[in-house]
Structure 1
Amino acid sequence: MRAGVRVLTSTKAICGVGTGNGTDARLAAETAVDEALRPLDGQEPDLVLVYASVRYDLPAVLKTVAAATGSAVIAGATSSGQLQHGQLIEPGSGIAVLALAGGGYRFGLGHATGVQADATRAGRALARAALDATGPVRSPHEAVLIFSDGLAGDQQELLNGIHKVTGFQVPVIGGAAADDRQLAETFVFAGDRVLKDAAVAVWIGSDRPLRVVGKHGWRATSLPLMLSGVDGQIVSELGGRPALEVYQENFRPRDPGAKKLYEKAGGYHSEHAFGLIQPDGSLLIRGAFIDSDGKLRTFSPMPPYSAVQVVSCDPEDLLEVGEQTVEEVMGGEEPAVVLVFDCVARLDILGQRGHEEARRLQEAAGDTPTFGYYTYGEFARTTGVAGYHNATIAAMAL
């Protein structure tokens, strides 16, 4: 593992965001980072986030960004599309860069590998490395920003390990890396390094509270059901009955006129999912799909004998909850940036309205830029241990 630290002294945060495209990785990265640095007016950035399509030469992208940003803490991930200042950069293209300076923050960078073999251990090591990197002085308010390999290990177990270091008072926000919906390989970034089977964390210390908000907009279409048969990601029984039969019984009729924005994506997600019923009655969304063998699978394992409901949603639900998430995380203030982590399943369900989401998120933020990417899962933990989500939008303001 590797750690780095950056301590800020300014009381006013300045943020710039930029994008690059085209086939040349270095040129696209230079374009994105130059645009992101412009609002800083010569001031060296302290935190740099990089989101990129897997089609690029990723080491070249990071080396280009690192060369332009000095000693900044650099973190990020591969994506399935990006969101930047009201614009949607569609899956399969683009590099997005954020540069932030000032604000009185303390940033500590850490990473851990071996997520597939032992996600809990990796999460604990990851959080400890990031915390140690901030130095001995603790800030009055803290949060952890994480990026994980979206195809490696149990993401909730990774969060369980992080919780062993953060405790319940430090919120966690972030996203699982994606790969333009290929479901082949995803990567995370730490400094100028491209990592697989790994997770990266930025420990953030602040003089002001750091709000984390996660919302989903899904609605139950079934009564509560007991998860009576589950083996890893395969769900075989619900309430003692064949799971697939019960699942399909609770499907909401689909709008025959609805069109997906990306037709090829239909094989790996559904307009229906599971909601894990939490102690407070809220639902934690777990994406589900029917595989080529006719088995009902989830993207992340669910605990045996837990209580679940089949859930569904429509595009308007998703658009409204996105606006609510941004408005709530801003809290009536004017932060330098709103970081957004949005599930690619939401983009698929939005269909032709995918670009509308990016625009409406920015309208909710006003003059504050929004910056984010489409993920293979979202982290938003504010109370308790559970905090890994599917088909959810999560945000934090800096």
Structure 2
Amino acid sequence: MDIATSFSAFHSSDQAISDAIRKLDMKIANPKLVLVYLSEHYDENIVRARITDAYPESQVLACTSCQGIMTDAGYKRGEGIALWALCDYNGAYGSAIVSSNQTPYDMARQAVLQAIENSGRPGELPALILLHATPGAEEEVLKGIEDELTVPVPIIGGSAADDYVKGNWKLFNQHQTTQNGVGICVFYPSCEVSFSFHSGYASTGKYAFATKVEGREVVELNGRPASEIYFNWLGKSLASSEIMRKSSLNPLGRVAGQVHDLPYFKLSHPCKVTDRGGIELFATVEQGEKLYFMEGTEERLVSRAGRVIESANEIGSSKEMDPIGGIAIYCAGCMLQVQEKMNDVAKYINKAMHEAPFVCAFTFGEQGQFTGGENAHGNLMISAVLFHRD
């Protein structure tokens, strides 16, 4: 089994994808799976055509990333196209995108069945699912996948992103493109895999209950306008236009589980204040849930990516792991908070990966499997999967 990556920063869609393919072909032959991460301005039809022409036998899944991409070659700010390819003669892989007028739940169920069918392993549960959906209903998508499979399967993923939250995100595979849908890749690798999903934030001990919720808006906390409670915790008020940027070190957290009596959290990132004083989030909160005021630091955002990779190295085996390569998902909000230090983030990941090839997209929501086995959607988080030599 081999994994390789390539990157190109040409502005032209044709030049960039041609350059990335040329570089990839120097490292790997006949990949069974090609993942594509790209900036929003690239013409997805040109990129898709060039990828399918270069790799007609490969399964493909592509997703846009916010203001850059990271690979084992380092952090690439701005525009670019990254390719991640896997050659595995004894493994199987399948991708699918469903974009329709169905609910996200139904699209997810259909997409995972199509991906399994395309892998050539019908009726067999995959070892891993890679999920890239457009933002807005990730919890429904996860439920659709899990209800369809009935048995828990580890999920790693990130919601498609654009540069400025304008809705310019895209997904595509070898068959179609969409700005509203669910993309899935199923993995049946011939090697051992391990996972990690963390926030890197700590609870301040302050909390309140979501006493009124509508969609992704927390209208009230403890019976009062949610923004009133949140700003009191924060120690200052924020305009609706600035809350997304200035709340990235202080999201709201919910307990997802416990390890050795210590809770771990899934996070929800505020994105705007509503006219009635509610707070709209990038994740869905259920009425009655206990929400904690969380706290992070820039130093932890920089170092935690390497720690998550190290954690994945330690999971699932008593022997020391020797990674062939990996995939990481890093929140776009965290990236923007520490953008000037992202080269250090890349160094931490490379060290933890033992210099093995990896790709990392910057997404508008992260999906992963916690230590307790729960698949979840959160914000301001990092998710990782590693593939290991025997």
TM-score band (shorter)? 0.7 to 0.9
1:275 correspondence with 2:253: yes
1:396 is matched by which residue type in structure 2? V
**Residue in 2 that maps onto 1:98:** 84
Deviates more, 1:325-334 or 1:307-316: 325-334
Query: Cα–Cα, structure 1 residues 338 and 384, in superposed 2: closer, same or farther, change >3 Å?
Result: closer
State the Cα distance separating 1:141 from its structure 2 match.
Answer: 6.2
Alpha carbons 1:336, 1:369 under 8 Å: kept = yes
Q: Measure the CA separation in 2 of the matches of 1:267 and 1:275.
A: 16
Query: Cα–Cα, structure 1 residues 70 and 351, in superposed 2: closer, same or farther, change >3 Å?
Result: closer
2:129 is matched by which residue type in structure 1? V
1:336 is matched by which residue type in structure 2? I
Q: Measure the CA separation in 2 of the matches of 1:107 and 1:201.
A: 11
1:315 is matched by which residue type in structure 2? E
**Residue in 2 that maps onto 1:374:** 362
**Residue in 1 that maps onto 2:49:** 63
1:167-188 Cα deviation digits (max 9, x unpaired): 3431011111101124322111
**Other structure's SS at 1:308 match:** strand
Deviates more, 1:135-144 or 1:160-169: 135-144
Calculate percent identity across the aligned residue pairs. 20
Query: Cα–Cα, structure 1 residues 162 and 106, in superposed 2: closer, same or farther, change >3 Å?
Result: same
**Residue in 2 that maps onto 1:243:** 226
State the Cα distance separating 1:105 from its structure 2 match.
Answer: 2.0
Q: Measure the CA separation in 1 of the matches of 2:173 and 2:147.
A: 22
1:33 correspondence with 2:21: yes
Q: What pairs with 1:104-123 in structure 2 (closer than 5 Å)?
A: 104-114=90-100, 118-123=103-108
Aligned length: 370
State the Cα distance separating 1:198 from its structure 2 match.
Answer: 0.8
**Residue in 1 that maps onto 2:134:** 149
Q: Measure the CA separation in 1 of the matches of 2:351 and 2:178.
A: 35
1:202 is matched by which residue type in structure 2? C
Q: Measure the CA separation in 1 of the matches of 2:274 and 2:153.
A: 41
Q: Measure the CA separation in 2 of the matches of 1:59 and 1:388.
A: 29
**Residue in 1 that maps onto 2:317:** none
Alpha carbons 2:107, 2:141 under 8 Å: kept = yes
1:76 correspondence with 2:58: no
**Residue in 1 that maps onto 2:120:** 135
**Residue in 1 that maps onto 2:203:** 220
1:177-221 Cα deviation digits (max 9, x unpaired): 101124322111111522121111111113444322111111112
State the Cα distance separating 1:68 from its structure 2 match.
Answer: 1.4
State the Cα distance separating 1:19 from its structure 2 match.
Answer: 1.0
**Residue in 2 that maps onto 1:330:** 313
Query: Cα–Cα, structure 1 residues 369 and 176, in superposed 2: closer, same or farther, change >3 Å?
Result: same
Deviates more, 1:244-253 or 1:215-224: 244-253
Deviates more, 1:159-168 or 1:290-299: 290-299
Alpha carbons 2:37, 2:62 under 8 Å: kept = yes
Query: Cα–Cα, structure 1 residues 57 and 333, in superposed 2: closer, same or farther, change >3 Å?
Result: same
1:228 is matched by which residue type in structure 2? T
1:46-94 Cα deviation digits (max 9, x unpaired): 1101011111111101111221123111102011121111511224x11
**Other structure's SS at 1:221 match:** strand
1:314 correspondence with 2:302: no
**Other structure's SS at 2:113 match:** helix
State the Cα distance separating 1:289 from its structure 2 match.
Answer: 3.2
**Residue in 2 that maps onto 1:360:** 348
Deviates more, 1:352-361 or 1:56-65: 352-361
Alpha carbons 2:366, 2:377 under 8 Å: kept = yes
Unaligned 5+ runs, structure 2: 315-319
Q: Measure the CA separation in 2 of the matches of 1:395 and 1:14.
A: 18
**Residue in 2 that maps onto 1:257:** none
**Residue in 2 that maps onto 1:285:** 267
**Residue in 1 that maps onto 2:33:** 47
1:85 correspondence with 2:72: yes
State the Cα distance separating 1:292 from its structure 2 match.
Answer: 7.1
State the Cα distance separating 1:155 from its structure 2 match.
Answer: 0.7
TM-score (norm 2): 0.88
Q: What pairs with 1:338-357 in structure 2 (closer than 5 Å)?
A: 338-357=326-345
**Other structure's SS at 1:379 match:** strand
Out of 150, 155, 158, the residue aligned to residue 172 of structure 1 is 155
**Residue in 1 that maps onto 2:377:** 388
Alpha carbons 2:254, 2:290 under 8 Å: kept = yes
2:6 is matched by which residue type in structure 1? G
Query: Cα–Cα, structure 1 residues 125 and 140, in superposed 2: closer, same or farther, change >3 Å?
Result: closer
**Other structure's SS at 1:127 match:** helix
Alpha carbons 2:48, 2:173 under 8 Å: kept = no
State the Cα distance separating 1:104 from its structure 2 match.
Answer: 2.9
Out of 2, 14, 21, the residue aligned to residue 9 of structure 2 is 21
Q: Measure the CA separation in 2 of the matches of 1:65 and 1:267.
A: 39
Q: Measure the CA separation in 1 of the matches of 2:352 and 2:32.
A: 26
**Other structure's SS at 1:200 match:** strand
State the Cα distance separating 1:232 from its structure 2 match.
Answer: 1.2
TM-score (norm 1): 0.86
1:291 is matched by which residue type in structure 2? V
Alpha carbons 2:131, 2:157 under 8 Å: kept = yes
